[in-house]
Amino acid sequence: MPVKRRVTIALIAEEAGVSIPTVSKVINGRPEVAAETRRRVERLLHKHGYQRRVSQDEGRAGLVDLVFAEIESPWAMEIVRGAESAAHEAGASVVISVLHTHAGPGPDWMERLAGRRTDGVVIVASRLSTGVQAQLSARSLPFVVVDPEGEPAPGVASVGATNWNGGLAATRHLLELGHRRIGMISGPADMLCSQARIDGYRAALETAGVPSAPELIRRGTFLVDSGHDQGHALLSLEQPPTAIFAGSDLQAFGVFEAARQRGLRVPEDLSVVGFDDLPLSRSAWPPLTTVRQPLQEMAALATRTVLSMGRGEQPETRRVELATELVVRESTAPPRAS
């Protein structure tokens, strides 16, 4: 029976046909490696499950890296609060990185990460390439994805919310009020949460025997401007909706403005439901009916998970979805009698 060779940098270098320093540069995210060579080494690191040996002398760094695609929204601030709270309880601090792209961490970020110690990485609403997974695993750095954009790879720990249930609950609420022509504004088509909310919306309509009209479903970003523009588009239809379910609170605020510009009152002329339950939703006028997404709890759980993985513990389940909840306020009402 052949003896299985221990996975070392030397073995990876031999199989990849490169030098040991080249493999070390790939592991540590250094930029001075040709793209094709980097991909070849990363595939081998991933194939062999290589992990850097961590000495007991290194101990804990007391830092968690929190990585955002974008951070210019109150949504991101809720994630920061949750992560910082959990890190503080564990005697750790949070380092925030902003990628300014949804493509996921790249070589520049890996190089910065290699320049300091960290106990783990929490990646928020961003894609995670196989190459980055291999580099993080090779450096023995645990990582968790919060609200993953795409389907997480097997074995990748992730924390999200029950977006489908949230879409179902929001639409059912409007149906129970008597609305039958219900508009839906969601986020980008390639984001899991966007599609899940649309699927929940469609399921509620189907259960109620209400046809799903394609012209009533719009996509955009989860920001105010998108809600404003898509709200105008929906309200410009020959048969406009009497209610709109927005895929985020920020979108809902944009719909509020579009309705105001058209001389429509919320909720007398148009009912609006959001998604997230940001603090702003309570102080909006009228106060926004929305689906509560437990953002702080999601971030806190991801942070606690990554710290426990750093101690050698493995999560009981790799994919966690926290419950959403409909919060009824004053932006929804029965449709006006025609």
Q: Which domains does the chain have, with CATH numbers?
A: 9-48 (no CATH), 63-161+295-322 (3.40.50.2300), 163-292 (3.40.50.2300)
pLDDT band (50, 70, 90) for residue 57: very low
Contact 218, 228 (CB under 8 A): no
Contact 245, 182 (CB under 8 A): yes
pLDDT band (50, 70, 90) for residue 41: confident
- In a 13 Å sphere around the CA of 271, the CA atoms on its Cβ side amount to 27
pLDDT given for residue 303 in this prediction? 96
pLDDT band (50, 70, 90) for residue 5: low
pLDDT given for residue 246 in this prediction? 98
pLDDT given for residue 36 in this prediction? 84
Strand pairing category for 182-186 and 93-98: unpaired
3-state secondary structure of 326: strand
pTM value > 0.75: yes
* pLDDT above 70 coverage of the chain, percent: 93
Q: From the CB of residue 291, how many other CB atoms can be counted at a distance below 10 Å? A: 30
What average pLDDT does range 33-59 have in this prediction?
70
Distance CA(328)–CA(176), nearest Å, equals 13
What average pLDDT does range 192-204 have in this prediction?
96
Looking at the predicted structure, is the pLDDT value of residue 3 above 50? Answer: no
Contact 320, 147 (CB under 8 A): no
Distance CA(337)–CA(331), nearest Å, equals 17
